[in-house]
Amino acid sequence: MKTYLTDIIPKIQRFSKRLDDLTILTNQHWVVVDELMGSKSIYIFRSNNELLITLNGRVEKAKWEYLGNSSLLIDKKDESYLFKHGFLDENILALKVDSKDEYAFLVNENKYEGEINSFSNIIDFLTKKYLDKQRINPLSEKVSPSYELKEVPRKFEPRTVRLKTNKGELEIITNLPSGYTKGDEARLNGKPAPDGRYSTGWPSWFDYLTVENGKIKSL
């Protein structure tokens, strides 16, 4: 499960359902967004607190528990993880890594199979559904029917994301409105970052990226 840095979640949190809304959370096929080609991981939160984790058809049985105070515990065979509520609706589940401003994103397969399969797709989807709607009419969630809106491609200025790693602080140059993605320029000490794998911290199952030719090759 890959995590991402983004500032969109605090902006849309007022639209979120509660994490203890079990009718939305449980018995759905939540596909983990990790952008790994040929890999598909699904989390199924069952109402009896059993968690089924499938990876390319192989099933691991774990446990999950809502602890109150917007906290979710995932108890796997060898280790346990604590997440905070990030965002939840019928389409997207965002879990915040406890004590870090990073989020894991999962997509409801029953709603959007194959259509929202990357971090940039999720940001675009949430922006259009919640933020653009408010810019059009800040007093209402409904767009006025008196005129037709045409989508205009949005352009973003390059920005720098600073990321602490085991090899020093990476400077990632990205055009995304939040977070970063494959192909972004990676610099270390003012120069193109050397090729290799960079660890970004806890927890170990989604904590690294690789760099090749001064750009992010994989997340």
What are the extents of the domains in the chain?
3-134, 159-218
Residue 117's SS3 state is: coil
- The enclosing H or E element of 161 equals strand 159-165
| The two three-digit tokens of residue 206, written as one number | 């989604």
Measured in degrees and rounded to the nearest 5, phi and psi for residue 11 equal -75, -25
Q: Provide long-range contacts, Cβ within 8 A and 24+ apart, for 194-200.
A: 196/167, 198/165, 198/166, 198/167, 198/170, 199/165, 199/166, 200/163, 200/164, 200/165
Cα separations in angstroms, 112 against 87, 106, 122: 17, 11, 11
CA trace torsion 61, 30, 39, 52 (10° rounding): 10
Q: What is the DSSP letter of 178?
A: S
Look at residue 139 in the predicted model and tell me its pLDDT: 46
Look at residue 37 in the predicted model and tell me its pLDDT: 54
Look at residue 35 in the predicted model and tell me its pLDDT: 64
Among 34, 189, 2, which residue's Cα sits nearest to residue 102? 2
Residue 128's SS3 state is: helix
pLDDT tens for each residue of the chain, 219 residues long? 788 899 999 999 999 999 888 889 999 999 988 765 567 889 999 999 999 999 888 899 999 999 988 999 999 988 898 999 999 999 999 999 988 889 999 999 887 655 677 888 889 989 998 987 665 454 444 443 433 334 444 455 788 888 888 888 999 998 877 677 888 999 999 899 999 988 876 444 456 788 999 998 887
Pick the CATH number of 3-134 from 2.40.40.20, 2.60.40.1190, 2.40.128.370, 3.40.630.40: 2.40.128.370
Among 31, 79, 70, which residue's Cα sits nearest to residue 54? 31
Burial of 93 (0-12, 13-18, 19+ CB in 10 A): buried
Look at residue 145 in the predicted model and tell me its pLDDT: 41
Look at residue 143 in the predicted model and tell me its pLDDT: 41
